[in-house]
Amino acid sequence: MADKPMVALVGRPNVGKSSLFNRLVGERVAVVHEIPGTTRDRLLADAEWRGRVFTVIDTGGLEVYQPRGSCDESPLSEGSAEFVPMIRAQAEMAIREADVIVMVTDVNHGITAADMEVAEVLRRTRKPVIIAANKADNQERREAAVEFYGLGLGEVFPVSALHGTGVGDLLDAVIEALPPAPLIGEDDEDAEALKIAIVGRPNVGKSSLLNRLLGEERAIVSPVPGTTRDAVDTRLTWDGMPVVLIDTAGIRRRGRIEPGVEKYSVLRALRAIRRADVAVLLIDAVENITSQDTHIAGMVLDQYKGLVIAVNKWDAVKKDAHTMNEYAGHIRQVMDFADFAPLLFISALTGQRVHKVIPTAAQVRDERRVRLSTSEVNKIVRDAIARQAPPIKAGRRLKIYFASQVSVEPPTFLFHVNDPDLAHFTYRRYLENRIREHYPFVGSPIRMSFRRRKSGHRG
């Protein structure tokens, strides 16, 4: 599947980027606050306009230091000043990744020195730039937006993220600036290839694993975390099967990211996960499992991608006959939300069990393509209800009238019920477990949707 194009919202702080982001994606995803510096981390969400789907990237402001007393001066949110270099670096990474850039400005302030510096940064990208002159809430402000043509970047669209006015025209321009959509049936050379993203914290051995799988030093291997800045695709054939390996930069905890663009590779790692069929999560056996490992696993499952957990550097662990089982038990306990993911103990350094990585990922992809018949699904649900009836909520009980698997990759199940609000998380998990008892869907998350039965429906 072709990767979705990306649109980055950039600009100085407090011009309404997060509000515009929420407007474009149709929900309140970003935190909106009047004090500049609230948005510290990139947010990504998909938007659709005129049949085109694209990913919108919300960024922190491209902060420009202003002398005290400057008319451009504005306070940063509490505790955010120290993050200014990081906010700028994240925005710069988003600019590098974007296909189209929307520079957001504030018509109330006109062109500021900070706007001019941001414009200078954008001019060097040689990418399509569209100006969204925000807060144009009345005719006078809309007319004032023409001032921003003075930045010399591109067409200016007066918009109000708060009220939605002008946003349609802005989206029309964005769609026109996006790269052409692939024709139906047209796909790249990797359409049938098994796409595997190798993900994990910095310095767990991702590049070493890639090199071991390839049998050559194709990627730079270094003990310094953060060496791999970009997601790199490598193509190979494994037992006659085309495979694309996507090596990614390490994903750091939010509070431990240091200034410098090379440290901000989470965006590309996320993009790699989204492009992949299966993600291989590397865990450092010496350091043991960390909260960041569980966070990355959650990122993979949030995208409903296949997951394989590979414990690397197993050769460096002192062990006896019980060590592997004890370690596996600990991982299963900490990552109980991913207990369906296959677990491998490998050494990229010595090659121990590395030969199992690609076949295991291939098995997971095959599992993601399995479809259960409607009769099977309904029998599973009937048996599940007979074993444990849905709990009562506010005096009402969930009733499931009909269920079916409606799609694959990921396996997706639709339940027609009396009231979706009665489908408590614990019972959803119970139903998932009963489905996996019938068919395990190894390594694949299951998507479950509960829909209210239409009136007049019999069954």
pLDDT at position 314: 95
pLDDT at 83 over 70: no
277-329: per-residue pLDDT in tens? Answer: 999 999 999 998 988 889 889 889 989 999 999 999 999 999 899 999 999 99
Say which range, 21-30, 288-297, 365-374, has the weakest mean pLDDT. Answer: 21-30
Token pair for 444: 């694949």
Is the model more confident about 67 or about 58?
Answer: 58
pLDDT at position 272: 80
329-357: per-residue pLDDT in tens? Answer: 999 999 999 999 999 999 999 999 999 99
Q: With cut-offs at 50, 70 and 90, classify the pLDDT of residue 122.
A: confident
pLDDT at position 258: 44
237-248: per-residue pLDDT in tens? Answer: 888 898 988 867
Mean pLDDT of 125-139: 92
Mean pLDDT of 48-58: 85
Q: With cut-offs at 50, 70 and 90, classify the pLDDT of residue 69.
A: very low
pLDDT at 76 over 90: no
pLDDT at 227 over 80: no
pLDDT at 130 over 60: yes
pLDDT at position 217: 57
Beta bridge partners of 402: 416
- Cβ neighbors of 82 (< 8 A, separation 6 or more) are none
The answer to whether 313 and 349 have CB atoms below 8 angstroms apart is yes
Say which range, 18-32, 40-54, 224-238, has the weakest mean pLDDT. Answer: 224-238
Domains and CATH numbers, the chain: 6-177 (3.40.50.300), 196-368 (3.40.50.300), 374-452 (3.30.300.20)
Mean pLDDT of 373-388: 96
pLDDT at 380 over 90: yes
- Cβ neighbors of 118 (< 8 A, separation 6 or more) are 10, 11, 12, 62, 64, 103
pLDDT at 77 over 60: no
**What are the φ and ψ backbone dihedral angles of 73, each rounded to 5 degrees?**
-75, 140
Mean pLDDT of 426-444: 96
Mean pLDDT of 430-444: 96
- Cβ neighbors of 296 (< 8 A, separation 6 or more) are 199, 200, 201, 251, 281
The answer to whether 99 and 126 have CB atoms below 8 angstroms apart is no
Chain mean pLDDT for the chain: 81
Mean pLDDT of 68-85: 43
Cα distance between residue 294 and residue 249, in whole Å:
17
Cα distance between residue 246 and residue 231, in whole Å:
6
Is the model more confident about 232 or about 343?
Answer: 343
User: How many percent of the chain have pLDDT more than 70?
Assistant: 76
Mean pLDDT of 145-172: 92
User: How many percent of the chain have pLDDT more than 90?
Assistant: 48
Q: In this structure, what DSSP letter does residue 255 have? A: G
261-279: per-residue pLDDT in tens? Answer: 333 345 667 778 888 999 9
DSSP, collapsed to helix, strand or coil, labels residue 137 as: coil
Cα distance between residue 313 and residue 305, in whole Å:
25
Buried b (16+ CB within 10 A) or exposed e, 180-192: eeeeeeeeeeeee
